[in-house]
Amino acid sequence: MYSPEISDLFKKLGINIGDSILVSNESVKFEGILMPRPDIGNNNIIVIKRKDGYNVGIRYSGGTKVEKLESRTNEILLPKLHAQANESLKTIHMLYTGGTIGSKVDYITGGVHVLTNPGELLFEVPELQNIANINVKDIMHTFSEDMSHNEWSAIASEVFKSILDGADGVIITHGTDTMHYTAAALSFMIGGLNKPVVLTGAQRSSDRGSSDAFMNLICSAYVAQSDIAEVMICMHEDSSDKNCIAIRGTKARKMHTSRRDAFKPINNLPIARISYTGSIEKLSKYKKANVDVELKLLNKFESRTALIKAYPNSDPSIIDYYVKKGCKGIILEGTGLGHLPIETKSNGYSWLSHVKDAITSGVVVGITSQCIYGRVDYKVYSAGRLLHESGAVYCEDMTPEVAYVKLGVLLGNYDSNKAKNMLNVDISGEITERSEFDF
Amino acid sequence: MYSPEISDLFKKLGINIGDSILVSNESVKFEGILMPRPDIGNNNIIVIKRKDGYNVGIRYSGGTKVEKLESRTNEILLPKLHAQANESLKTIHMLYTGGTIGSKVDYITGGVHVLTNPGELLFEVPELQNIANINVKDIMHTFSEDMSHNEWSAIASEVFKSILDGADGVIITHGTDTMHYTAAALSFMIGGLNKPVVLTGAQRSSDRGSSDAFMNLICSAYVAQSDIAEVMICMHEDSSDKNCIAIRGTKARKMHTSRRDAFKPINNLPIARISYTGSIEKLSKYKKANVDVELKLLNKFESRTALIKAYPNSDPSIIDYYVKKGCKGIILEGTGLGHLPIETKSNGYSWLSHVKDAITSGVVVGITSQCIYGRVDYKVYSAGRLLHESGAVYCEDMTPEVAYVKLGVLLGNYDSNKAKNMLNVDISGEITERSEFDF
């Protein structure tokens, strides 16, 4: 926060963070974008980012004059680093949604705050201007734990627009907590995708020397102009700063709370390895653009979809609870090959009858495994056979999270019967015939 | 199933599978334990297991005489392979609970059925008799997806008894689906443990050539006589048949639906690597027997404990549902470092207020991460700080499953205040100061 004196002045002049302003005093005169006040240091110094990318601070005193030049623009946030787009480079739209990659550490509290002006990212990674013409769009400021299907739909719609607008690729900066849910949502919400769509983020905020933001952004900018016409997550391959990997959006999961290589492909190889210097090594099959398929936006989502984990002692009446609330689809996280407590002798719980009741009342029920890795199989044990006979859909090698997102999108865009029939049919690489991976 | 003719005869004579019988016809006479009829082949042949371990089949005809010698004994199932215990070997109690390791494949249906006579295991792995004197106790026949806290308590009580009876170590054969839940339960339910307690199982049933049962049992028999006084899971280290690893009972998780190396240590190194030939390589610190600490059984469990996963769009009123049902403890699976949707703008969901209400009404709430690997940390983001301020306990580097089992055991044996205070204090290796592992 700026000092009360400065804050009052900004209020009077209608100036907000991100606006273009002119600041002058007896000896100097600076024009640029008003930056948020760092959390430590003198709060009586106005910080602006000049067109050349440098931040300058001007001490505020009686003689300081401040003038508002232009309001912050939400669409294209930054003046182009080059006056004109470099015609030899491709054009990438970078959609900013919030998250650590656009955050600053408060060194006093140790906490992380969202950037007010995501365009700062471009100044922090000037290498990007040599890789592509990058247009930053500020579409929302949301921590990823607060993302819902409405945000997924909005992002899908922006991606759709960007591609129609002629972008060669799209990068979405996103908080990491639920990035894999959003990646799955975009994979199912955009049909006939013909450009790379790359989600990236950071496990450490971009103003820290140890941040993974720089390499993640640079590698994303390379893979966003490749021939891979899929939704991907591009993050560190390991804890070194050597390579990133692009993981299929329907086969990714955040598997560590803090490591920079937190995202792992599940039941799949990464699509590609991308080096800091721009080489792209393809590691598995991928989809290329198909001009015969029409780009389609299917961004509705049935919010009355639930993800329920079964565990020892868990009471199956939780299913009834969701059915009573009007739930249209349920993904169950079973154990092992996709089992639920069928005959718990000591407490009389039987998930089977509750699953049957839900299905009878028209709810689509899918079965996945909390093992995360591997494939469910109803044929091996009686628990699986009974659940399958009752009409539950075994979700092959999808993670619980991907099955949940897929069912929500299917129920949002189709009727229950069609949704049920499509649940274990591959749409966007989420089901593989044979899982190939290291785990 | 045996033929109707044989079944009728058995019924008339009061003979059940597992009983000792004498079968004779004109030319031969065999004494042994009646085995279940294999699912394929001639169902008019009686199969008995002789004292030498071999199965023989006698075709049933008019001249066949059958006599019951002794009923199946449930405690010590098998005649000792040696007439007397080998005094140079240690004594291990093997508690049979059910699961694939004691199962047979039905080659027609492809399904797996539980063995009627778990003692068969010993005959299938004759090497065991050279490693230890093994007493098999048949304590239950339960698939692991059907295990509840009542079974955990019963197993804990049997382990306790075995140790008091002078066993040098205990092996528990168990279905793999929820083996890690049971391992955690035993770790918390037995205080002052002074012997190795080893859970093992199989991903493929023991009558298949590719079964992992043999090596898992053999390695378990070695580590069950080591100086490691902890509850462990002993299963394959990788997909070869070279080594098993012993994983701490509070740091294990089934991470694959079908691979033989499905169990992985989480946020920890394995305790030891055990070879087929009996060498034990210690890989990390472990607890040895401490004669100054009294062996204690704390096998109560508060069944009104819930495990709830938060995910995008998830409705926090699920917390109210559990509180209304009288829930005493809730473990939340948050995202990333332990976050929940705090301010979902588009649908108005805020988990924070529901967590606060639960805590106010006396429920103990713990926060873990669905990332599985890594440690939760409330200090980095505002979501964490707010949840922590509300009184939620951040569960360090425990998996959601272990935190759930721990909270249930704590609430079963202590009052809420003590349970809350102990939740993020290490009891049985479940919390490490610094997580050491490959992930």
Per-residue pLDDT tens digits for B333-382: 999 999 999 877 777 889 999 999 999 999 999 999 999 999 999 998 88
pLDDT tens-digit profile of B20-35? 899 998 888 888 888 7
Region label for B33, one of left (φ > 0), alpha (ψ between -120 and 50) or beta (otherwise)? beta
Compute the average pLDDT of residues B244-265.
97
A302 forms beta bridges with none
Residue contact A311–B181, C-beta within 8 A = yes
For chain A, give the mean pLDDT.
Answer: 89
Same fold: A4-70 with A305-423: no
Q: Which residue of A has its CA nearest to B258?
A: A374
Nearest CB among B258, B303, B337 relative to A257 is that of B337
What does DSSP assign to residue A62? Answer: T
Round to whole Å and give the CA distance between B44 and B60: 6
Residue contact B146–A374, C-beta within 8 A = no
Instruction: Identify the CATH number of the domain defined by range A305-423.
Output: 3.40.50.40
B415 in contact with chain A, both atoms CB, cutoff 8 A: no
Chain B interface test: which of A177, A235, A325, A439 (most B C-beta within 10 Å): A177
Domain boundaries, chain A: 4-70, 91-297, 305-423
Residue with the bigger pLDDT between B125 and B185: it is B185
Compute the average pLDDT of residues B277-281.
96
pLDDT value at residue A74 = 44
Residue contact A339–B151, C-beta within 8 A = no
B150 in contact with chain A, both atoms CB, cutoff 8 A: yes
Lowest mean pLDDT among A363-367, B13-17, B181-185: B13-17
Chain A residues touching B145 at Cβ < 8 A:
310, 334-336, 339-342, 383
Is the pLDDT at A61 greater than 50? The verdict is: yes
Residue with the bigger pLDDT between A159 and A203: it is A159
B351 in contact with chain A, both atoms CB, cutoff 8 A: no
Residue with the bigger pLDDT between B389 and A345: it is B389
B252 in contact with chain A, both atoms CB, cutoff 8 A: no
Q: Which residue of B has its CA nearest to A303?
A: B313
Instruction: Identify the CATH number of the domain defined by range A4-70.
Output: 2.30.30.520
Torsion of the alpha carbons at B267, B271, B274 and B279, rounded to the nearest 10 = 150
Residue contact B345–A181, C-beta within 8 A = no
pLDDT value at residue B115 = 58
User: Where residue A201 falls among pLDDT bands split at 50, 70, 90?
Assistant: very high
Q: What contacts B203, CB < 8 A, 6 or more positions away?
A: B100, B176, B212, B258, B259, B260, B262
pLDDT tens-digit profile of B39-62? 556 788 888 877 765 667 888 888
Is the pLDDT at B386 greater than 80? The verdict is: yes
Is the pLDDT at A109 greater than 90? The verdict is: no
Round to whole Å and give the CA distance between B425 and B432: 10
Q: Which residue of B has its CA nearest to A238?
A: B439
pLDDT value at residue A77 = 41
Residue contact A375–B258, C-beta within 8 A = yes
pLDDT value at residue A387 = 96
Is the pLDDT at B79 greater than 50? The verdict is: no
Instruction: Identify the CATH number of the domain defined by range A91-297.
Output: 3.40.50.1170
A276 in contact with chain B, both atoms CB, cutoff 8 A: no
pLDDT value at residue A414 = 98
Is the pLDDT at A78 greater than 80? The verdict is: no
Q: Which of A16-30, A96-110, A154-168 has the highest mean pLDDT?
A: A154-168
User: Where residue A207 falls among pLDDT bands split at 50, 70, 90?
Assistant: low
Q: What CA–CA distances, in Å, run from B67 to A31, A164, B11, B50, B201? A: 105, 85, 12, 15, 35
For chain B, give the mean pLDDT.
Answer: 89
pLDDT value at residue A48 = 81
Restricting to A residues 87-106, those with a Cβ less than 8 Å away from any Cβ of B are: none
Nearest CB among A256, A314, A377 relative to B373 is that of A256
Name the pTM for this structure.
0.82
B143 in contact with chain A, both atoms CB, cutoff 8 A: yes
Residue A61: Cβ-neighbour burial (10 angstroms; 0-12, 13-18, 19+): exposed
Compute the average pLDDT of residues B253-273.
96
User: Where residue B119 falls among pLDDT bands split at 50, 70, 90?
Assistant: low
B203 in contact with chain A, both atoms CB, cutoff 8 A: no
B306 forms beta bridges with B330
